[in-house]
Structure 1
Amino acid sequence: MKALISIDYTNDFVADNGALTTGAAGQAIEQAIVDLTKSFTEKNEFVVYAIDRHEKEDRYHPENRLFPPHNLNGTTGRALYGGLADVYKESSELPTVYWIDKRHYSAFSGTDLDIRLRERNITEIHLSGVCTDICVLHTAIDAYNLGYQIVVHKSAVASFDPVGHEWALKHFKQTLGAQIIE
């Protein structure tokens, strides 16, 4: 069994005016993410939206020393970007669609994702979203350590750092044994 984990494809990470935007790189993958998500939804396969959630002025969160405020709870910056918002709206009531508010880079850290996957006998996870070298990478590493087979859709991941993006793709394949789909 397989699942799709869609990571952080929000206005703050993708829109031109996003607080921590991937800009053109993130925008260029919109159709691939939409198509991939629809393909999982239409086959009644498990789709997880793992979305970064931060609180305004949280002085305890370590990311606040590294990045500007982003994906703040209750803001439009945290809303899904572009066509993916429509896909979620159309399918959010399905029992195969699940939303996770994540506080750390990895979709597994501090969430019930592993439990949700295991109770559905999912052994293979497909990854899409941003940033390839941060949240997608940390999710892939945790998935590897938990024994999942990993598939990364190259056309459906992006970063604001082109060097980091390419390094992460290489790391997925060479170090985590992930399958990279072009």
Structure 2
Amino acid sequence: MEKALLIVDYSYDFVADDGKLTCGRPGQSIDRAIADKFNDYVAAARPVFIMMDLHHDNDPYHPETKLFPPHNIAGTPGRELYGRVKEVYDANKDNPLVIWIDKTRYSAFAGTNLHQLLAERCIQSIEITGVCTDICVFHTAVDGYNLGYDMTVDAAAVQSFNEEGHRYALSHFRNTLGMTVHSES
């Protein structure tokens, strides 16, 4: 079964200490795990999809405008990948296995061509990494479940703003979506 890696919203704004909507240290703690997976997938000739949140400054029509401070604004450094993950991306960005997709909703499937690209590559199994476990990773997993994907998540490669939400999402992945959850303590 073909497998792909999804790196969800691992941006400067979501992870760096001075990011616009940062989960801070928890997000920083998964940098090496995501970067290692990124390297492993490329080395195994498996696709890696960078699913990146995209917003426009002062967009009155986007539902998140009322919920969160401005973040991941088009054309800003806040949309860049963070840390080691950025380094691995920069070293592999011209590789056709590495695909960057902008997304404008929580789920990586909503309003994107991700499902089509996975189908074209005969991908039936996805591993989801990134932030936030209980927001964008969660919604991506729910949509992936509804589309019939076999999914895994490594608890060491996802994080959130709060530990309670993170733990809830991991439990939901395992007990409600039937996902394989690795590295749980």
Residue correspondence of structure 1 range 59-78 to structure 2 within 5 A: 59-78=60-79
Indicate yes or no: 2:126 matched with 1:121: no
Which residue number corresponds to residue 18 of structure 2?
A: 17
- Sequence identity, in percent? 51
Matching of residues 79-118 of structure 1 within 5 Å: 79-118=80-119
Return 5+ residue gaps in structure 2 as ranges: none
Normalised to the residue count of structure 2, the TM-score between the two structures is 0.97
Distance 1:24 1:85 in 2: 17
Letter in 2 for 1:58: D
Q: Aligned AA for 1:169?
A: L
Give the Cα–Cα distance (whole angstroms) in 2 for the partners of residues 124 and 33 of structure 1: 17
For residues 162 and 66 of structure 1, what CA distance do their matches in structure 2 show?
A: 20
Aligned residue identity for 1:36: K
Give structure 1 regions of 4+ aligned residues with deviation exceeding 2 angstroms.
none
How far did residue 153 of structure 1 move? 1.1
Tell me how far 1:55 sits from its aligned partner. Answer: 0.3
Which residue number in structure 1 is paired with residue 33 of structure 2? 32
* Aligned-CA RMSD value: 0.5
Match of 1:145 in 2: 146
In structure 2, what is the equivalent of residue 178 of structure 1?
179
Q: Which amino acid aligns with 2:171?
A: K
Q: CA deviation at 1:111?
A: 0.3
For residues 161 and 43 of structure 2, the distance between their equivalents in structure 1, rounded to whole angstroms, comes to 31
Unaligned runs of 5+ in 1: none
Report the secondary structure of 1:123's partner residue. strand
